[in-house]
A = this chain, B = another copy of it.
Amino acid sequence: MLQAIGERLRAGQGPEAPGETWSGDDAAVVRLGAGRQRVLLTTDAVVAGVHGDLDLIGPADFGWKALTAAVSDIAAMGGTPRHAVVSVGAPPGSPLEELAEGLAEAARAWACPVVGGDLSEAAQLFVAVAVTGTLAGDRPAVLRSGARPGDALFVTGPLGASAAGLRVLRGGQPGGQDLVAAHRRPSARLAEGRVAREAGARAMLDLSDGLGLDLHRLARASQVGVRVDRVPAAAGATEEEALGGGEDYELLIAAPDDGRLERAFSAAGLRPPLRIGTCTADPTERRLGSQALPEAGYGHRL
């Protein structure tokens, strides 16, 4: 369905200009105006009851997640977010001030001010955020499609904390505060994305829908196989949550297997990237240890 929509949208819109990348990556790369400056552009929507249960996480957390999800798309290109605009649909009586507070907190955290917006009545709360970004220097944005056989696969941190935090919230038990915080207030890995781009990362995407799904996406876009040796789970998260839980917003990176990425992260004072596997030459290969890699994660069920 998504493909059919994409084809309709592309029909008759002419080709991308040189150096542009439209749909299909975390963010679009476009060129704007007389200077033909490269600009990143992305949008993400969160819907109450789909991307977050307001009874569990509260409206400020919901606003935070909405803005952070869009900013994370910029991180996954190796860019820097610049400005956000926000469309909100809300039932009468919605806690809009708290929602705005969470949006503002995320805008400050990621240095991405909200410069405009639109507010509509709706039966169900939704927040759609669009973000612009820029790329330092002349190097291309890091797309999903650049991985090559032999590249090492990394993630920027242990996975599954957000899904585990949701489990803790649903269970209503005490404890698990770190997990709950990971669910409520995910981070966008902006420094990691920028350093990875500078260090020659070949492909990158953010883990919004779960490693299982996103590994398949990287492999398809890059026409490589993937062999995964381990799935690093966050403390307190299960293997299944680490593989199939969404909304961690860590980055999945394919980089030449020469230690440069690790050295660059170390030099920048960042947490070491965690090596999880290797890209292979057979584009049909999708292995997790000795098993087939399940295409598990948050699917758009439409």
Interface of A toward B, CB cutoff 8 Å: 1-2, 4-5, 8-14, 20, 22-23, 27-28, 30, 32-35, 37-39, 41-47, 49-51, 82-83, 85-90, 92, 94, 96-97, 99-101, 103-104, 107-108, 113-124, 126, 128, 130, 132, 134, 300-302
A134 to B99, CA, bound (A): 31
In the complex the two chains form, is B121's CB within 8 Å of A302's CB? yes
A-B contact pairs, 14 of them (CB 8 A): A1-B97, A10-B104, A14-B113, A30-B132, A32-B132, A32-B134, A34-B134, A37-B37, A47-B122, A50-B121, A119-B300, A120-B300, A123-B124, A124-B124
In the complex the two chains form, is B114's CB within 8 Å of A45's CB? no
What residues of B have a CB within 8 angstroms of the CB of A104 in the complex? 8-13
What residues of B have a CB within 8 angstroms of the CB of A9 in the complex? 86, 100, 103-104, 107, 114, 117
A128 to B103, CA, bound (A): 17
What residues of B have a CB within 8 angstroms of the CB of A83 in the complex? 28, 30, 32, 41
What residues of B have a CB within 8 angstroms of the CB of A124 in the complex? 122-124
In the complex the two chains form, is B89's CB within 8 Å of A119's CB? no
Closest 6 CB pairs of A and B: A130-B130, A128-B128, A45-B87, A8-B100, A28-B115, A87-B128
In the complex the two chains form, is A49's CB within 8 Å of B132's CB? no
Shortest distance from the beta carbon of A123 to any chain B beta carbon, whole Å:
5
In the complex the two chains form, is B2's CB within 8 Å of A119's CB? yes
In the complex the two chains form, is B45's CB within 8 Å of A128's CB? yes
What residues of B have a CB within 8 angstroms of the CB of A130 in the complex? 41, 43, 85, 87, 128, 130
A38 to B100, CA, bound (A): 26
* Also in contact, A108 and B12, with CB within 8 A (given A23-B117, A37-B35, A132-B32): yes
In the complex the two chains form, is B134's CB within 8 Å of A33's CB? yes
Partner of A92, one of B42, B101, B123, B302: B302
A49 to B94, CA, bound (A): 18
In the complex the two chains form, is B116's CB within 8 Å of A43's CB? yes
Q: Kindly name the residue among A51, A90, A120, A122 whose own CB sees the greatest number of chain B CB atoms within 10 A.
A: A122
Shortest distance from the beta carbon of A36 to any chain B beta carbon, whole Å:
9
Partner of A33, one of B34, B37, B108, B121: B37
Shortest distance from the beta carbon of A75 to any chain B beta carbon, whole Å:
15
A-B contacts besides A23-B116, A44-B87, A50-B122, 17 pairs, CB < 8 Å: A5-B96, A5-B117, A5-B119, A13-B108, A28-B116, A30-B83, A30-B115, A30-B132, A32-B132, A34-B134, A35-B35, A41-B132, A45-B120, A47-B120, A124-B124, A126-B126, A130-B130
